[in-house]
Amino acid sequence: MLISAAVGWAVFILGRFVSESLSWSDVGTVTGFALVTLLRVVVMIIIASLIWVPIGVWIGLRPIWAERLQPIAQFLAAFPANVLFPFAVVMIIRFRLDPNIWLSPLIILGTQWYILFNVIAGASAISTDLKEAARIFNVRGWQWWRQLALPGIFPYYITGALTASGGSWNASIVAEAVSWGNEHLEATGLGSFIARATAAGDTASVALGVAVMSVFVTVLNRTVWRPLYRYSERRLRLD
């Protein structure tokens, strides 16, 4: 109750502060930017999942390889992704690529590893008895994925994807507006809006952008990620 009252009071103060400098049309514009960033985050999470889920399952089911490869993955996860941003700027300018498309991978460059690590953990947790039963009954191909691998890793995957999604929203602030030397590239989205407002010292716009981002992340967690996690605990358990 106390937390709800504090949040309500903070929202009231923020709304009054923002309304002194901005209008409802500004709120609509920023919400539109947030929808663009949402689309970018969703597409990148899907692409990262298609890449890392099969790799993570393969590694997790092979303890020897997991021991060898996890330190490499941990090093890559610790590597500051923004160091690679200037190379992206150079490539986009060199080949005249669309920043709205080719800056998008930068938002998940540093957060994709959460998916990999959690999938590896999920695959490692699949019981030996279930794996042996699948081998004895010759369960292979898509049936193996549908009946063993995906149910086994799903709760772990949801944890990784949720974390990667939240991190991608934060990363969009630096990934949608990238500079190198005299070159500056921007992709349409909430991240670039916040970055531009911060550079201009527009406190009201920054506050509005952060508030809209917080609302989107909270709503996604409550309407998508949390129900998926409850579903995985209730229906996809390999006991």
Q: Is 217 within the bounds of a domain?
A: yes
Q: Is 188 within the bounds of a domain?
A: yes
Q: Name the pTM for this structure.
A: 0.89
Alpha-carbon distance values, 146 to 23, 119, 139, 140 (Å):
50, 15, 10, 10
Q: Is 118 within the bounds of a domain?
A: yes
- Which of 186, 187, 178, 190 has the alpha carbon at shortest distance from 214? 190
* Residues linked to residue 179 through DSSP beta bridges, in sequence order: 184
- Please give the pLDDT value at position 156: 94
Residue the block writes with tokens 């709120």: 27
Q: Is 4 within the bounds of a domain?
A: no
Q: Is 88 within the bounds of a domain?
A: yes
Q: Residue 63 and residue 167: Cα distance in Å, rounded?
A: 28
Q: Is 19 within the bounds of a domain?
A: no
Domain range for 62: 29-235
Domains held by the chain: number: 1
Other CB atoms within a 10 A radius of the CB of residue 123 amount to: 24
- Residues with Cβ < 8 Å from 163, sequence gap 6 or more? 111, 114, 118
Rounded to an integer, the average pLDDT of 115-140 is: 92
Q: Is 228 within the bounds of a domain?
A: yes
> Cα angle at 152 between 151 and 155, to 5 degrees?
80
Q: Is 225 within the bounds of a domain?
A: yes
State yes or no: pLDDT of 4 exceeds 80: no
For residue 80, give the CATH number of its domain.
1.10.3720.10
pLDDT in tens, 212-236: 999 999 999 999 999 998 888 776 6
Q: Residue 57 and residue 113: Cα distance in Å, rounded?
A: 14
Residue 107 corresponds to which tokens in the numbers above? 């938002």
pLDDT in tens, 121-133: 999 999 888 889 8
pLDDT in tens, 182-203: 889 999 999 999 999 999 999 9
